[in-house]
Amino acid sequence: GNSVTQMEGPVTLSEEAFLTINCTYTATGYPSLFWYVQYPGEGLQLLLKATKADDKGSNKGFEATYRKETTSFHLEKGSVQVSDSAVYFCAFRYYKLSFGAGTTVTVRA
Amino acid sequence: EAGVAQSPRYKIIEKRQSVAFWCNPISGHATLYWYQQILGQGPKLLIQFQNNGVVDDSQLPKDRFSAERLKGVDSTLKIQPAKLEDSAVYLCASSPGNTDDDEQFFGPGTRLTVL
C-alpha cells in the first residue's frame, strides 16, 4: 500500500551544521510530497511541497527535491539555527494526506 | 486572519466515558479534517468533510467515534465510550478546497488522556 518512511530521530546538531532528514515513499501513482514542521508549543504547519518529479520545494532555507527514480524527498538545510529545533514530518498526498512518524531535531547553540 | 480554533486544549477522562472536541475552521474554508496523532507517530486522517458532507471516513472507528459538521462550518468529534488506546492529540485542519494546491491549516490540537 501507499506509505512514507522517514529517518528516525532524535537528531541533535550544533548551530550552522548541515541537516538532512531522509524520506522515501511507496505509492502506486505520483503523489504530491510535503514537509510539515511542528515547532514547540505550536501547531503543525506546511514547510514546503513539490507536486511533480524533479520539482524542488524551498522555504526558510530548507530544500527538498522530488526524486521519482529513488522515490525520495529528502529535506536539507545548509546551516541550521537554534530556531529550527522542531519535529519535522514528511507527507504525501494521494487522495489524502499521509504522514511519516516525524523526526525530532534539536539544534544546540 | 484567525487560524483554526480547537477546544478544549486538554482533556482527561476515564475509560468508558464520553468526550467531545470542537473545531472552528478558517472562515470560508470548505474542507475540514480531523486527524488523530498518537505519541511518536504522524497524524492519521480520521474523517474529511467537504462543506457538510463526508468525503472520507474510512479510518474512523465508527463503533465509538462520530463526527458532524452542521451547516458546513464548525465541527464536533465525539468518542463514546473511550478506550485507553484513544489517548492521543486530535488535530483539526481546514483548507479552501480539496486539491494539492489547497494548503491544510492545522489547529493547536486537543490532547486527550484516557485513564
Interface of A with B (CB under 8 A): 32, 42-46, 49, 51, 89, 91, 93, 95-102
Q: What is the pLDDT of residues B49-101, one digit of tens each?
A: 999 899 999 999 999 999 999 888 999 999 999 999 999 999 999 999 888 77
User: Which residues from A are below 8 Å from B48, CB to CB?
Assistant: 96
The C-alpha of A90 sits at a distance from chain B's nearest C-alpha, in angstroms, of 9
The C-alpha of A73 sits at a distance from chain B's nearest C-alpha, in angstroms, of 16
Burial of A70-88, coded b for 16+ CB within 10 Å and e otherwise, reads ebbbbbebeebeeebbbbb
The label of the residue with cell 480547537 reads: B6
Residue B1: predicted pLDDT: 66
Under 8 Å between Cβ of A16 and A78:
no
Q: With CB atoms and an 8 Å threshold, state whether A100 touches B42.
A: yes
Per-position pLDDT tens, chain A of length 109: 778 999 888 999 999 999 999 999 998 888 899 999 999 988 899 999 999 999 999 999 999 999 999 999 999 999 999 999 999 999 998 888 999 999 999 999 9
Q: With CB atoms and an 8 Å threshold, state whether A89 touches B100.
A: no
Residue B34: predicted pLDDT: 98
The C-alpha of A79 sits at a distance from chain B's nearest C-alpha, in angstroms, of 26
Gyration radius from chain B CA atoms? 13
Name the nearest CA neighbour of A59 among A73, A47, A46: A47
* Distance separating alpha carbons of residues A55 and A44, to the nearest angstrom: 23
Beta bridge partners of residue B110, listed in sequence order: B90
Dmax over Cα atoms in chain A, in whole Å? Answer: 43
Tell whether B4 lies on the interface with A, counting CB pairs under 8 A. Answer: yes
Task: Please classify residue B94 by burial: count the beta carbons closer than 10 Å to its beta carbon, then call 0-12 exposed, 13-18 middle and 19+ buried.
Answer: buried
Query: CB-based contacts of A108: which residues, under 8 Å, 6+ apart?
Result: A12, A13, A14, A15, A82
Q: Tell me, what DSSP letter sits at residue B68?
A: E
What does the CA dihedral B113, B85, B42, B109 come to, rounded to 10 degrees? -30
User: Which residue of A lies nearest to B42 if distances are taken between CA atoms?
Assistant: A101
All three cell numbers of B4, joined, read 483554526
Interface contacts A/B by beta carbons within 8 Å = 43
Residue B115: predicted pLDDT: 97
Q: What is the pLDDT of residues B19-52, one digit of tens each?
A: 999 999 999 999 999 999 999 899 999 999 999 8
Residue A50: predicted pLDDT: 95
Residue B50: predicted pLDDT: 93
